[in-house]
Amino acid sequence: MEENRRKQRVELLSSDGEVIIIDRKIANRFARIRDFLGANDCLYVPNIRSFILRKVLTWSFYHKNDPGLKSDSESTWWYTEFFNVDQTILLELMETADFLDMRSLFNVAQGLRRNE
């Protein structure tokens, strides 16, 4: 049973050496990760720091049932907190979203960069 549980998990190794363990179902949401991962249980994601990888995963969890943007007041607060980062982080989020083909995250981050 432990072996089966381990096979349902994936380790993502960030460029700064941190291992982030997620369910394979979550990893499979990202076509690029799914393609690179194949049957393996570990994937090195070069050029993506752990902080950025965690932010992208947070976005993915928040939007797991709806890929579009939300507009209620709770969501407005969430987006404000999520994007309360400096321009360097915003650029890294854009690059990572582009790499992982996360259009909604990329578009919002790009719009925020233009407004600065």
Tens of pLDDT, residue by residue, the chain (116 residues): 555 555 689 999 999 999 999 998 888 888 888 888 877 889 999 899 999 999 999 998 888 776 567 677 778 888 889 999 999 999 999 999 999 888 889 988 998 887 76
Helix (H, G, I), strand (E, B) or coil at 63: coil
Q: Any residues with CB less than 8 A from the CB of 25 and at least 6 apart, and which?
A: 8
Per the CB < 8 A criterion, the answer to whether 81 and 59 are in contact is: no
Distance (Å, rounded) from C-alpha 61 to C-alpha 39? 23
Structural domains in the chain, CATH included, are 2-115 (3.30.710.10)
Distance (Å, rounded) from C-alpha 65 to C-alpha 62? 8
